[in-house]
Structure 1
């Protein structure tokens, strides 16, 4: 079915945001062309992110101080799951890496297939010549999976992919306590402990010059590897 013909009024995008004022308005406006319900959590940004979120027409929730992505996602989930008619929920990055076309497919699978949560993966297709995943990122992400027996047991290949779609059952049971990078492994633990039915969906991640400067640094890779150590204990 054409995306324009679909009704996504029962779907909420949850967008954690920290100092994304340069791009957040464009990201939200584009997403709202398909998904009218978006809550963006301004996680203590020092720039104009809050004003840009408001201008884009999204629901705005402010953290007075920066608490980390895990906390921002949990705040967004709590806000979205309280809204009348909310059935499906999607965590969606603020920097323009995630694609609306992928969200459409993921929500469609939740409607039609017996899954509670669909997790995006950068590794679900044969590697193409134009694959944008930086080699250091690829090594780090595969190392994290190797370090986590639980992730492998669930059949997940990209546990740090922030694009996730899930149903109301998952939203009601989600309780992220790890505020920083470790929330990704915590979500994997919740999938396992709560017996949520999980599948992966191959997605395209758009690595722009802006997103690379924001999230692909060496220290970010170190943080993800540290999360892998946490995952091994979960």
Structure 2
């Protein structure tokens, strides 16, 4: 259990999630009071509901994509001198706060600077065979092109130590930003040594709400398509 959370910021890209974002923020803030939602040009009242739930909201005037939203959130979190860790956290209710607590504890204990969430280290996440196949293909490509060894390179749940956040410079705004983050972390050196990272099992909850938005399979397909295009 996380004993201290004042040094943790949850960075939440936000785009048209008015139905769920209030509950997502309230649940997260029970354990991690510092939450910044980057409203990426939403056309509904997502931003207002996030603010009502206690999040800081930074706005993009137009939709720039999840990569850009994460970079904006990192830049905001870095203005807090007390911040030691950033957590990338989805706005649609698929991520579990208990997983964040375990991942933050793992970074605190060291020596890792980054913890990536993985759907494939246990059996809690219920994903179709096709989705798993597409994601594993994307992971294989990412591992080959970045020199890392991950089981789930495109999971949006990550914990990053401040020094890593300071060095990230996300330029891929759409789905390919996940591979870019992995590539940049794989290339980082601290005192001449490669950045230390680990994976942790996480439960991605594919709800009726997220499935209705088409996120269950098409996100995975889009990830693979963008990787091939790059």
TM over 0.5: yes
Among candidates 168, 171, 195, match of residue 174 of structure 1: 168
Using the alignment, how far apart are the partners of 1:113 and 1:17 within structure 2? 30
The answer (yes or no) to whether the contact 2:115–2:158 under 8 Å persists in 1 is yes
1:225 deviation in Å? 1.1
Higher helix proportion (structure 1 or 2): 1
Using the alignment, how far apart are the partners of 2:152 and 2:163 within structure 1? 22
TM-score scaled by length of structure 1: 0.91
SS in 2 for 1:148: helix
Q: Does 1:206 align with 2:200?
A: no
Using the alignment, how far apart are the partners of 1:151 and 1:208 within structure 2? 32
Q: CA RMSD in A?
A: 1.7
Using the alignment, how far apart are the partners of 1:64 and 1:152 within structure 2? 33
CA deviations on 1:104-150 (whole Å, 9 max, x unpaired) are: 0111011102111100000112x4xx641222221110111222343
The answer (yes or no) to whether the contact 2:116–2:158 under 8 Å persists in 1 is yes
Structure 2 partner of 1:143 = 137
Which aligned pairs between 1:49-198 and structure 2 lie closer than 5 A?
49-125=46-122, 127=123, 131-150=125-144, 153-194=147-188, 195-198=194-197
Using the alignment, how far apart are the partners of 2:76 and 2:88 within structure 1? 13
Using the alignment, how far apart are the partners of 2:101 and 2:143 within structure 1? 30
The answer (yes or no) to whether the contact 2:131–2:216 under 8 Å persists in 1 is no
Structure 2 alignment gaps of length 5 or more: 189-193
SS in 1 for 2:213: helix
Using the alignment, how far apart are the partners of 2:118 and 2:64 within structure 1? 26
Alignment length, in residue pairs? 225
Cα distance change of structure 1 residues 139 and 198 upon mapping to structure 2, 3 Å threshold: same
Structure 1 alignment gaps of length 5 or more: none
Cα distance change of structure 1 residues 89 and 224 upon mapping to structure 2, 3 Å threshold: same
1:218 deviation in Å? 5.2
TM-score scaled by length of structure 2: 0.92
Using the alignment, how far apart are the partners of 1:9 and 1:88 within structure 2? 10
1:229 deviation in Å? 2.1
CA deviations on 1:8-64 (whole Å, 9 max, x unpaired) are: 000000000100000000000000000010000000000010110110111000000
